[in-house]
Amino acid sequence: MSSEILKQVDDILLMARTGTPVVEIREKHIVFARERPTLFNMIVENPHAFDRRKLIQMMFMKNQVGAGELTPYQAATRWGKRMADEYLPDNLGGQTLD
């Protein structure tokens, strides 16, 4: 299922980046747009800023939770730390995120 999602994401990205009107993209990917409206909108609203790498990382973590390799809490904590490390400055006034 993950590979099918990525194939659709890639097609939506290509269409959006080449100027295909959103209505046409939605018509072609109506089920995807209906089942994953937030993801669909994130892609079509700003396709050049969409980070496919992060989507893959999230899908991988979701699979780990589904397989019992991580608890939802562990996955959320790891993801939060990863995002904090990426987006927050190194010096938080002596505070740590550990």
Taking only the tens of pLDDT, the chain with its 98 residues reads: 578 999 999 999 999 999 999 999 999 999 999 999 999 999 999 999 999 999 999 999 999 999 999 999 999 999 999 999 888 877 665 555 55
Which residues lie below 8 Å from residue 79, measured CB to CB, with a gap of 6+? 57, 58, 61
Residue in 90, 64, 91 with CA at minimum distance from that of residue 77: 64
Model confidence over 1-17: pLDDT tens digits?
578 999 999 999 999 99
Which residues lie below 8 Å from residue 54, measured CB to CB, with a gap of 6+? none
pLDDT at 98: 56
pTM over 0.85: no
Residue 50 corresponds to which tokens in the numbers above?
Answer: 């969409």
